[in-house]
Each structure stands twice: as structure tokens, then as C-alpha cells.
């Protein structure tokens, strides 16, 4: 098989990266994707950097057995903790990461409050600290850890009373002041509608999925790795829990409108 005909490997700590997969399929409809959700080890957010590096390396090793031509780290936490290491280990493999979409939020709302929701590890890592530092003169950037949201989404709870109660409490201090909310965790687009109810009507809720998908296209184009097939690509879901329930949830979220 030619390199360009091979699938793209995409992974997350669980089902969250399916929000990025959706954007990638929209951007590159003729590509085949192998999606791996590491739900048996989710959430990654409360873990140490070394643990997330070890788990991410194990997933990439697995995806390489599928013959993937590129890797998308559809997880802000794993990108922060492991992207550099993975690029060192596989210098010729295109590895595309994701980071909180702070730049577009600040450009659209200079001088205003921008709330960045993410996992504790993402907010603690140097990647985010540098990002926040770069933009802190231009806007009031408020990091907001929302660890429980990952577990709600992993359980398929995207619109339950418990999710609404959790978000109400978490976002109450910013309900009237946030000009924009950045979703710095790929699980969060699945609760976008519930988040929208807790902030000013019309305040944009911005995720990094589309930007990551565009970067994937750019890297495949640059390396002449775009799939030439004319028909629609295939998407295959795998999950480390090896349960049909997680595959069903993956398919549900893939088909759910959240953007």
C-alpha cells in the first residue's frame, strides 16, 4: 500500500477527541481514520506528566501497528505532556497536536475576559503557561480547571441535571463577565450547549478542533500524503476498555451535533 493510501491515527484519553475527529473528517473527507480512545485510563488530566507520556507512547505504538501515516493527538492534555517526546521518538512521522484556542479568542475580544476551561494538567503544563503569558497583556485570561466534565462525557452524560448543576456552580463567577469561553479540552465541545446556558447569551465558545484539522491538512499536503481516493473515507473506532458500550458512545458522539 502506498503511504498516502494509509489511514490517519487519532487518539485521546477517551471519547473527547471525537470532537476533533469530526472537524478532521469535515476538512479531509477522503481520508481514512483510526480513532483510539484510551477510556480505560481516562481521565489523563489528574495524572502526572510522566504517566501521560507513558500512556500516549503506548497508544502511538498501537496505532503504528495499524500502519498509520500520521498521528493527531486529539487531546490537549496529551499534547502538553507528550507531543515533544513523541516527535523526538518519531522524527519522520507527522504528529499534529492541539492547544487551547486562546489566540482567536483574544483577537476577537481584546481587553475583555477570556475564560479557558481545561484539565488541571493542561493548565499546569509549560505549554499553557507560555500561551497565557503571551496574551495576558491583550486580555484578561482566566484559567478554569473543569476535571469532572471529562468523566461526565465519558459516561455519555452531556445534558443531564448533574452536568448542568456542575457547570452552573463552576461558571457562576464568570456568568456576566466572560466575553468568550475557550474549550481547552476536547471532551468539552460535547457539553457546549450546557456551557452556553451559563454565560452571557451570544458569548462565543471556541474550540481548537477546526484549527487542528487545518494543520493536519497543511502537514499532509506539504508531505504529499493526501489520500487520492475519490470516495468518502472510513472511520474505525477502537477503545482500550474493549467494550461495545464505549464504541456505541463513540459512534453516538461522532454523529451528534455539537458545533
Q: Which is nearer to ligand DGL, 106 or 149 (CB)?
A: 149
Q: Which of 8, 25, 59, 75 is catalytic?
A: 75
34 classed as catalytic: no
Say which residues have a Cβ less than 8 Å from residue 201's Cβ, sequence separation at least 6. none
Q: Tell me which residue has its CB nearest to ligand DGL.
A: 45
Q: How far apart are CB 166 and ligand DGL at their closest, in Å?
A: 15
Q: Which is nearer to ligand DGL, 52 or 225 (CB)?
A: 52
Q: How far apart are CB 223 and ligand DGL at their closest, in Å?
A: 25
Which positions lie near ligand DGL, rule CB under 6 A? 12-14, 16, 42-45, 75-77, 119, 122, 150, 185-187
Q: Which is nearer to ligand DGL, 7 or 43 (CB)?
A: 43
Q: Which is nearer to ligand DGL, 177 or 259 (CB)?
A: 259
Q: Which residue numbers are catalytic?
A: 75, 185
Amino acid at each position: 500500500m502506498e503511504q498516502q493510501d494509509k489511514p490517519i491515527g487519532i487518539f485521546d484519553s477517551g471519547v473527547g477527541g471525537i470532537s476533533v475527529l469530526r472537524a478532521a473528517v469535515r476538512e479531509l473527507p477522503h481520508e481514512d481514520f483510526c480513532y483510539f480512545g484510551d477510556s480505560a485510563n481516562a481521565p489523563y488530566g489528574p495524572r502526572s506528566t510522566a504517566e501521560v507520556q507513558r500512556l500516549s507512547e503506548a497508544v502511538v505504538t498501537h496505532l503504528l501497528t495499524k500502519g498509520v501515516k500520521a498521528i493527531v493527538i486529539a487531546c490537549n492534555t496529551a499534547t502538553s505532556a507528550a507531543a515533544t517526546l513523541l516527535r523526538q521518538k518519531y522524527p519522520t512521522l507527522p504528529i499534529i497536536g492541539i492547544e487551547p484556542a486562546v489566540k482567536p479568542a483574544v483577537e476577537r475580544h481584546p481587553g475583555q475576559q477570556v475564560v479557558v476551561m481545561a484539565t488541571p494538567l493542561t493548565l499546569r503544563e509549560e505549554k499553557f503557561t507560555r500561551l497565557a503569558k503571551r496574551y495576558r497583556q491583550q486580555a484578561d485570561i482566566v484559567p478554569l480547571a473543569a476535571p469532572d466534565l471529562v468523566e461526565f462525557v465519558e459516561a455519555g452524560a452531556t445534558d443531564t441535571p448533574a452536568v448542568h448543576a456542575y457547570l452552573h456552580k463552576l461558571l457562576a463567577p464568570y456568568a456576566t463577565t466572560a466575553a468568550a469561553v475557550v474549550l481547552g479540552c476536547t471532551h468539552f465541545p460535547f457539553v457546549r450547549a450546557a456551557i452556553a446556558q451559563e454565560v452571557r447569551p451570544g458569548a462565543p465558545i471556541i474550540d481548537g478542533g477546526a484549527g487542528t484539522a487545518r494543520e493536519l491538512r497543511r502537514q499532509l499536503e506539504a508531505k504529499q500524503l493526501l489520500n487520492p481516493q475519490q470516495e468518502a473515507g472510513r472511520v474505525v473506532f477502537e477503545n482500550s476498555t474493549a467494550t461495545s458500550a464505549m464504541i456505541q458512545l463513540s459512534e453516538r458522539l461522532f454523529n451528534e451535533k455539537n458545533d
